[in-house]
Amino acid sequence: MTAVSRLDAAQLLACSEELADLLSDTVNGGASIGFLAPLDRAAAVAWWEERAAAVVAGQLGVWVARSAGRVLGTVGLAFPDKPNSRHRAELVKLMVHRDGRGQGLGRTLLATAEQAAAASGVTLLHLDTETDSPAESLYRSAGWTRVGAIPDYAATPRGALHPTTIFYKRTGAEAGALGG
């Protein structure tokens, strides 16, 4: 049984080692999420620990999926701090450990973030993902709208430049009213 829960800053710090293992597995498995392979474990732990301040400030929400006490996935929502953009958030760092893939965990984490966004008054979500990646297929199948692709946007974990695709999705009542 997989349980998904939102982390506060103390919980994030307490499981930063497990989150670092997930981040390393994701990057070393080829997912383009902002890091190059091989990812140094100490750097991965430090990256997660640095997120705690944003969680305290309310600028980042982090959810983890656990199965048998082990972290198998995570997703985040980055909330803007500018007054004219508080209606939107960016979906960030959706990761599923290679051991947990193919079980619907990515879809569960995505739905959790979408529901949390709607519950907090966010009416618009956006994200970027590597073009032609398995993640892109997940977002399309979950009703996200493709905006377009930017060539040579980011390097893959192996260092090759690759395009990224931008998506958005309306949440809550806005989604039904505006058709998207």
- How far apart are the C-alpha atoms of 107 and 112, rounded to whole Å? 9
Cis-peptide, bond into residue 38, ω within 30° of zero: yes
List domains and CATH numbers for the chain.
2-178 (3.40.630.30)
Q: Is the dihedral of CA 176, 82, 48, 41 positive or negative?
A: positive
Look at residues 51, 66, 139, 128 and name the one whose alpha carbon lies nearest to residue 97.
66
Question: What are the phi and psi torsion angles at 33 (to 5°)?
Answer: -125, 25
In this prediction the pTM is 0.93
pLDDT in tens, 129-164: 999 999 999 999 999 999 999 999 999 999 999 999
- Given this model, what pLDDT does residue 86 score? 93
pLDDT in tens, 49-88: 999 999 999 999 999 999 999 999 999 999 999 999 999 9
